[in-house]
Amino acid sequence: MALDLRINKYADVPMEEKQRLFDEVTRDERFEEYLYGCYECGICVASCPSARFYDFSPRRIAQAVAREDVDLVYTLMNDSIWDCSQCFSCDRCPRKNSPGGLITIMREVAVNNGLSSAQEALEGYGRIVYKIMGTGTQVSPDMLQPNAFPDWGPHVKDISDNLDIWRRALPPETLHTTETGWQVDDKTIIELYLIWHMTGVMNMIQEVDEGLYEILVDVMEERLEEEGYDVTFD
Amino acid sequence: MIPSETLVKQAKDRQFVQDPNKAPTEDIHDIIFQLEKEGEWEVQRVPEPYMEVKTKYGRIKKIPIEKTWHHKSCGQCGHIPGYSTSIFWLNRKFGYDYIDPSDQTSCTAWNYYASATSNAAAQAAVAMRNFAAAAETGYYPLIHCGTSFGHYKETRMQLIHSAELRRQVRDILARLGKKFVIPEEIVHYSEWVHAMRDKIKENQVRDMSMIRATVHPACHYHKLITEDVIYDPEIYGAQRTAIITGTLQAIGVDVADYSTWYDCCGFGFRHILVSRDFSRSFATQRKIEVMKKEANPDVVVTHDTGCVTTLDQSQFAAKAHGHEVGVPVLSDSQMAALALGAHPYKVLQMHWHNTDNTGLLAKMGIDPDKAWAEFEKALEKLKDGSQQYLTWEDTDG
C-alpha cells in the first residue's frame, strides 16, 4: 500500500502523545549509535530490499527522526516501519547511521505502547511468538503443513506426510523432535521462562495480543509452579 | 577523450588494505578483557589449538578447531535439518570432539527482528544463559545461525557499552545460578568451515571442478558488526567477505560473480512467515533470476538458515509464474560434506530442500536415484521397527 504523506492521517492524535512516543525512541540507549546525520546520498535506499517492493525508504526514516519531525515519525511508526526487512543493508551508510536500528527501536516503542499498527502487523504471527516463548525454538518441523505454505508447493506435503519417519532418519540425537526444532531440556525451558518474567517481556506481548498473553502465562505459570517457583506474571 | 575504462579501474581489481592500526572501530578483545580485569565478567578462552583468520581490518580472530558447543539454529533444525547434520558430520569426519547440547535455547532474535516483542535485557539474558551453559561444559560455542551470530555480536556491544545492562543481566544470571561469562570470540560455523578449508581439500574424494556456483553471503553475517567478519586479500581483494567463496574455491568449485551479490535474500524475518509475497518476489527477481542470467550457476551456496530457506522455497511459485528460476540452494557445510563423500540423503538430507537438485548431484557423478534408493532402504529398518533411529554409523554405508 502506498504511503500517502499529503494528508496528516493522524491529525486527531494529540501532539503530546506523538511527542511522548518520539521521546521514548530517542531515550533508548542505542539511539545515539544509530543516528549521526545524512548526506542525502541514497545508499541506504539503493541497498534496501523493502524499498524495491514497498513505498518504503530508510532515508525517510533517518531524516524524519533527525529533523525531529514528530508528526512524520508518528506516521512512519504506524504505516511504514513494519515493511522493513531488518537485514541491515542500510548500515552501509557513510555517516554510520543505522536506519534499520532506528526502526528496531521504533518497533519496540510501537509494541510497548500497543499501537494498532503493531497489532495489525503481528496478526497471524501469534503462533510464532507462542512457539519461541513457550518452547525455546522459533520454528518446528510440524509447522511444515501444506495449508501454511501453499506457495512452497507439494514438497511441503511430502515432508508433512513423512514427518515422523524423516525426523527419525536424522543421525543427530537432538533432532528427532517434531514439535520443537531440537530437544530442549526441561530445566532450560524453566530458565527461559524466568528470563521472560524478570525482564518484563510478557508485558509487551500483553500490549499487542491479550489472548496470546493469557495462553502463554497459563502455560508458563503452570510449568513454573510444578518446578516449585511461586511466580505470577501479573 | 580518455576511455572511461582507463579512468575507472574495475572494482574487482581493487585491493582493500587490511591494516589493524588504521581500523576505524575499537578492538572488542581489548575491552572484554579489560572488563574481565575489572571483575565485570569472566571470558571463556578459545581452546587450543585454534586457527587464526583475518577480519575486515586485518585483526586476528581465533577459530576453535574442536571442543565446540554447537549452538543450533531454529530454521536449520526445524526445516532443513541436513544443514546442521552436515556440520556435525564434518566434525565427526575429522574426529573432532564436540557437544550437541539440549541445554540450549534459540537466541530468539528471529522473533525479535520480526515482531520486536522483546527487549535488550531479555535478549542479552538469553545470550548469556546460552554462553554460561556452554562454559559449564568446558566446550566453546560455535554459532550455527547467521542471525544468532550477528545478534550476539550486537548484544555483546550493548553489554560492553552499558554498565547498567551488565548489572541487570548479571543479576538475572545469578538468580538462575549461572556464571556471567562471555566467549573471547563469537564464532560462526561457516568461519570454522572456512578455517578448515585446506583440511577439507586434503581429504576431498569428489571432484567439484565441473560445478559452477554463485555465493550469497548472509546479511546478518557480514552487515552487522562488519569489522568482526572474515576478509582475505586473496578473495575479492578483501573488498567483500571471503566467507563461502574461500571454501568453494578450495574444493575446486568455479565461483561465478553476479551484480546483486550484496543484496539480501528477501527473508525479512516477519515477511517469510506472514508476508511471503515480498520474500518470494525479492528472492527470485533480485537474486535467482539475476544469478541465472549473469552466471547460470549449478547451485547457489549460502551460509544461513533464512537464506537457504528463502532462496530455495521461493522458486516453486516463481516457476509457476514462468520466471527463469530452478537453481538448487545448499549451505557451505553441505557442499563441504559432499566434497568429502557424504551421502546426499542420509547426511545432507536433500529431500527437505525444494528446488530440484538431482541435476546437481548427477553432475557431481552421484546417481540420485541410487542414492535415494539407499536412503529408502535405510528407512525400512525404521518402518519395520528393527531400528528406532538412523545413526551416524548408518551414514557410513
Q: List, for residues B12-43, the tens digit of each pLDDT value.
A: 678 899 999 999 999 999 999 999 999 999 99
Distant-in-sequence, close-in-space partners of A99: CB < 8 Å, separation ≥ 6:
A34, A44, A58, A59, A61, A62, A90, A93
Closest in B125, B347, B379 to A199, CB measured: B125
Which positions in chain B touch A82 (Cβ < 8 Å)? 270
B381 touches chain A (CB under 8 A): no
Q: Has residue B389 got a pLDDT over 90? A: yes
Closest in A128, A140, A195 to B122, CB measured: A195
Query: What's the rounded Cα separation, in Å, for the pair B156 and B153?
Result: 5
Cα–Cα nearest to B242, from B58, B26, B22? B58
Q: Has residue B111 got a pLDDT over 60? A: yes
- Within 12-71 of A, beta carbons closer than 8 Å to B belong to 29-30, 47, 49-50, 52-54
CB–CB contacts below 8 A, A to B? 249
Per-residue tens of pLDDT for chain A, all 234 residues? 567 777 788 999 999 999 999 999 999 999 999 999 899 999 999 999 999 999 999 999 999 999 999 999 999 999 999 999 999 999 999 999 999 999 999 999 999 999 998 998 888 888 899 999 999 999 999 999 999 999 999 999 999 999 999 999 999 999 999 999 999 999 999 999 999 999 999 999 999 999 999 999 999 999 999 999 999 987
pLDDT of residue B4: 55
Sign of CA dihedral B56, B61, B67, B73: negative
Which positions in chain A touch B165 (Cβ < 8 Å)? 29
B179 touches chain A (CB under 8 A): no
Residue in chain B lying closest to A110 (CA):
B116
Number of residues that this document lists for chain A: 234
B31 touches chain A (CB under 8 A): no
Instruction: Please write the tens of the pLDDT for every residue from B280-291.
Output: 999 999 999 999
> Are B382 and A192 in contact (CB < 8 Å)?
no
> Are B79 and A141 in contact (CB < 8 Å)?
yes
Query: What's the rounded Cα separation, in Å, for the pair A2 and A212?
Result: 31
- Mean pLDDT for B155-170 is 97
Give the number of other CB atoms < 10 A from CB of residue A73.
25
Which positions in chain B touch A139 (Cβ < 8 Å)? 74-75, 78-79, 110
Domains, chain B, with CATH or none: 20-189 (1.20.1050.140), 203-374 (3.40.50.11810)
Distant-in-sequence, close-in-space partners of A59: CB < 8 Å, separation ≥ 6:
A38, A40, A42, A44, A45, A99
Disruptive mutation site among A1, A89, A175, A193 for chain B (greatest number of B CBs within 10 Å)? A175
Distant-in-sequence, close-in-space partners of B275: CB < 8 Å, separation ≥ 6:
B268
Chain B closest-CA separation from residue A169 CA (Å): 5
Chain B closest-CA separation from residue A67 CA (Å): 24
> Are A183 and B102 in contact (CB < 8 Å)?
yes
pLDDT averaged over every residue in chain B = 95
pLDDT of residue A127: 87
Give the number of other CB atoms < 10 A from CB of residue B270.
27
> Are A205 and B281 in contact (CB < 8 Å)?
no
- Within 175-234 of A, beta carbons closer than 8 Å to B belong to 175-176, 180-185, 187-189, 191-192, 194-196, 198-201, 204-205, 208
Disruptive mutation site among A137, A184, A186, A197 for chain B (greatest number of B CBs within 10 Å)? A137
Q: If DSSP codes are grouped into helix, strand and coil, which group holds residue B136?
A: helix
Closest in B223, B278, B316 to A91, CB measured: B223
pLDDT of residue A234: 77
Residue in chain A lying closest to B317 (CA):
A151
- Mean pLDDT for B175-191 is 98
B303 touches chain A (CB under 8 A): no
pLDDT of residue B137: 98
pLDDT of residue A123: 84
- Mean pLDDT for B312-332 is 96
Which positions in chain B touch A193 (Cβ < 8 Å)? none
Distance of alpha carbon B110 from the chain centroid: 15
> Are A195 and B313 in contact (CB < 8 Å)?
no
pLDDT of residue B11: 62
Which positions in chain B touch A184 (Cβ < 8 Å)? 102, 104-105
Cα–Cα nearest to A166, from B82, B13, B161, B108? B82
Q: Has residue B3 got a pLDDT over 80? A: no
Rounded to the nearest 10 degrees, the angle between the axes of helix B28-37 and helix B146-161 is: 50
B366 touches chain A (CB under 8 A): no
Cα–Cα nearest to B242, from B9, B16, B11? B16
B268 touches chain A (CB under 8 A): yes
pLDDT of residue B5: 57
In the numeric block, the cell 543479576 is attached to B171
> Are B117 and A208 in contact (CB < 8 Å)?
yes
Disruptive mutation site among B73, B108, B115 for chain A (greatest number of A CBs within 10 Å)? B115
